[in-house]
């Protein structure tokens, strides 16, 4: 069998394959370029960008847990202006899709970042709505459909690139927030973001993380992520980038079957810097073994 076609179209943008380095674990790709050929992966979602630089939360801010990790990094990043001036030009030398994850504490902040990005050749904007809305008492934007609709609609007006909304699982019904984002005009969705959790040091009788709670990622959350991708795919008719515990090529196959068009690889990058390429090769081997000539033969074909 000849090499299968792995190309996917996400929100009108062509990606050479569905493997996308997820935001927060791949930085801006600098360190990983020493270990892998970044040109081979479908895309990079850069670490979350804010309007102004952020130093993040105090340490400890990473804690290993059974089948996963907790993080409370706190969106440490150099700010949007530095990203556009220093990091983006280097990223654009790679033959891979560029997705920029944006974060804000007010709708105005989100819109200002989107306006700055609109002048540059970025493929997709990923709107992280797990951030606290300071004008609403710190409640996360993604926690309620009305807030999801409001922030999505405003950012969509400010952006020229296709807008992908990243949904939080920390809500009563992710189908409702997905519908709100779609009704507000987003082009696609990515899910899931991390689940809120905590870890305790029984000798010190204190939380391990300085921030007390953090976001749980890794294999532990994959069943939740798969269920939510499947639910959302059966609720709205827009592309989905699935993520949450994809560590192997077969995990990617599961996300594709559930309805995802692209798959974010996050925690796996912290386990092995070659994870994205390893997963890509495992996915390709699976397709060859099973005589699957085109990736579209997998996407959304789960039998119920």
Q: What is the DSSP letter of 187?
A: S
Q: What's the pLDDT score for residue 138? A: 56
Q: What's the pLDDT score for residue 131? A: 72
pLDDT in tens, 33-59: 999 999 999 999 999 999 999 999 999
- How confident is residue 267, by pLDDT bands cut at 50, 70 and 90? very high
Q: What's the pLDDT score for residue 132? A: 65
Helix (H, G, I), strand (E, B) or coil at 10: strand
Q: Is the pTM above the cut of 0.95?
A: yes
Average pLDDT across the chain, whole number: 96
pLDDT in tens, 108-137: 999 999 999 999 999 999 999 987 665 665
The helix (run of H) or strand (run of E) holding residue 143 is: none
Query: Domain spanning 8-53+79-194+218-297 has what CATH number?
Result: 3.20.20.70
Count of residues in the chain: 304
pLDDT in tens, 235-266: 999 999 999 999 999 999 999 999 999 999 99
Q: Which of 11, 111, 131, 186 is catalytic?
A: 131
Known catalytic residue: 131?
yes
Phi, psi for 28 (deg, rounded to 5): -110, 20
The number of beta carbons lying within 10 Å of the beta carbon of residue 153 is 16
Task: Report whether pLDDT(268) > 90.
Answer: yes
CA–CA gap between residue 223 and residue 255 (Å, rounded): 10
Q: What's the pLDDT score for residue 133? A: 60
CA–CA gap between residue 251 and residue 255 (Å, rounded): 7
**Residues with Cβ within 8 Å of residue 169, at least 6 apart in sequence:** 191, 192, 193, 194, 195, 221, 224, 225, 228
């Amino acid at each position: 069998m000849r090499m299968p076609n792995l190309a996917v179209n996400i929100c009108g943008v062509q990606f050479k394959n569905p493997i996308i380095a997820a935001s927060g674990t791949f930085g801006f790709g600098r360190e990983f370029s020493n270990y892998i050929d970044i040109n081979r992966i479908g895309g990079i979602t850069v670490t979350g960008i804010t309007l102004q630089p952020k130093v993040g939360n105090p340490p400890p801010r990473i804690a290993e847990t059974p089948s996963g990790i907790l993080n409370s990094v706190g969106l440490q990043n150099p700010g949007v202006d530095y990203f556009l001036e220093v990091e983006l030009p280097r990223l654009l030398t790679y033959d891979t899709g560029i997705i920029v994850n944006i974060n804000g504490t007010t709708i105005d902040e989100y819109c200002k970042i989107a306006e700055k990005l609109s002048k540059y050749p970025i493929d997709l904007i990923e709107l992280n709505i797990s951030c606290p809305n300071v004008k609403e008492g710190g409640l996360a934007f993604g926690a309620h459909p009305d807030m999801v609709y409001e922030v999505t609609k405003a950012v969509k007006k400010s952006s020229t690139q296709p807008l992908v909304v990243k949904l939080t699982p920390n809500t009563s019904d992710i189908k409702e927030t997905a519908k709100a984002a779609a009704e507000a005009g987003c082009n696609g969705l990515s899910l899931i973001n991390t689940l809120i959790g905590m870890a305790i040091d029984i000798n010190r009788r204190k939380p391990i993380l300085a921030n007390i709670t953090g976001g749980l990622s890794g294999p532990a959350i994959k069943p939740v992520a798969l269920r939510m991708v499947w639910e959302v795919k059966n609720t709205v008719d827009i592309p989905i980038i699935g993520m949450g515990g994809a560590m192997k090529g077969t995990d990617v196959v599961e996300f594709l079957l559930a309805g995802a068009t692209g798959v974010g690889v996050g925690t796996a990058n912290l386990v092995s810097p070659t994870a994205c390429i390893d997963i890509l090769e495992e996915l390709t081997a699976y397709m060859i073994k099973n005589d699957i000539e085109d990736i579209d033969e997998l996407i959304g074909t789960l039998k119920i």
